[in-house]
Amino acid sequence: MHVHFQDEWSDEDQDVLRREVDGQIRLSFASPPEDHNTEVLVAGRPDEKLLDRLRGLHSVIVPFAGPPGKTMAMLADRPDLSLYNIHHNAVPVAELALGLLLAAARHIPLRDRLLRTGDWTGSYHLPSMILRGKRVLILGRGAISGELEAPLRALGMELRFIRNNPRNGAEDEFHPRELHRLLEETDILISTLPLSDDSRGLIAEKELELLGPRGILINVGRGRVIDEDALYTALADRTIQAAGLDVWYHYPRGEGRAGSTLPGARPFWELENLVMSPHIAGEWPNPEVQRMRLQALARRINDIFHKNPVPKVETDRGY
């Protein structure tokens, strides 16, 4: 089997990948081979011309968890190709979700800011939430929510999960059609959902109203699962208590450059009951996470080669 990597990978990364993949699998990094088949393409945003040009191609792997919408749309038109992803960063994402929750429940960033201006008592009366005994509804029961489960239970919280295909007999798993009933019994809503036609805007005005004025919302999945205007208004009017967001509606141009600011139709940065981070839950620049990415990617390639069962990303679910 031949695997081509479309994007640039450092010499060190290439060495790790060559070490970790099965010896019978050939890898190419610069230009793809002209003279024989290339069964697997690894690409963040696959080049359509390359997809057409590679002979024998049957699989595409995006080397992260959330394939971009354009990739999903492009591959929806290519039923001959299977799309795979990796979930290497579930632990760091779950850890940041936990951090956002603790920070939002206890106003940690705001209290820090007030103290820096010499205000010792100004934050005493903010409405805080004690987490023990509270009910958490997690949207999605995949890699990230799996890593959230143990720490949230250790804090004494009750968990329920929504997934589009709840398993028979799993008493804490529910279908999205039960969302409204569950929200009425929820203190904390955490979204780990990918973006699809089903999930886009799933949480809007009505859902935030059901979460209620004591409710806290955390989003580490994809921004547009939560309706932008509804969330801004709910936070500004305090019809929900607080939120913690890692994922956004609009991203700065030149993302990653020093000086980039958060753009958007709504000034989220002015809200005191919002804790924010710049889509960094996956900690992609961290060398430890990069090692986890390379190992997960090599495992995915080996699994495809050995025909081990691996869930595909469902491109027909929209994007």
Ligand X SMILES: NC(=O)c1ccc[n+]([C@@H]2O[C@H](COP(=O)([O-])OP(=O)(O)OC[C@H]3O[C@@H](n4cnc5c(N)ncnc54)[C@H](O)[C@@H]3O)[C@@H](O)[C@H]2O)c1
Ligand Y SMILES: O=C(O)[C@H](O)COP(=O)(O)O
Burial letters for 25-56: b for 16+ Cβ neighbours within 10 Å, e otherwise?
bebebeebeeeeebbbbbbeebeeeebeebee
Q: Is 46 in the site for ligand Y (CB under 6 A)?
A: no
| Long-range contacts formed by 264-270: CB under 8 A, 24+ apart | 264/228, 265/228, 265/229, 266/228, 266/229, 266/232, 268/232, 268/235
Range in contact with ligand Y (rule: CB under 6 A) among 3-11, 24-32, 60-68, 179-187:
60-68
- Work out which of 102, 182, 284, 302 binds ligand Y, going by CB under 6 A: 284
Q: Which is nearer to ligand Y, 21 or 65 (CB)?
A: 65
DSSP class of residue 176 equals G
Q: Is 64 in the site for ligand Y (CB under 6 A)?
A: yes
Q: Is 251 in the site for ligand Y (CB under 6 A)?
A: no
For residues 223 and 249, the answer to whether their CB atoms sit within 8 Å is yes
Q: Is 91 in the site for ligand X (CB under 6 A)?
A: no
* Interacting positions 187-206 with ligand X (CB under 6 A): 192-194, 196, 198-199
Structure tokens at 284: 């992609």
Nearest approach, Cβ of 57 to ligand Y (angstroms)? Answer: 22
For residues 216 and 242, the answer to whether their CB atoms sit within 8 Å is yes
- How far apart (Å, rounded) are the C-alpha atoms in residues 53 and 51? 6
| Binding partner selected for residue 199 from ligand X, ligand Y, none, CB under the kind-specific 5 to 8 Å limit | ligand X
For residues 143 and 155, the answer to whether their CB atoms sit within 8 Å is no
- Work out which of 2, 4, 141, 293 binds ligand X, going by CB under 6 A: 141
Nearest approach, Cβ of 114 to ligand X (angstroms)? Answer: 28
# chain residues binding ligand Y, by CB under 6 A: 6
Interface ranges with ligand X (CB under 6 A)? 65-66, 87, 89-90, 93, 140-144, 162-165, 176, 192-194, 196, 198-199, 220-222, 246-247, 279, 281-282
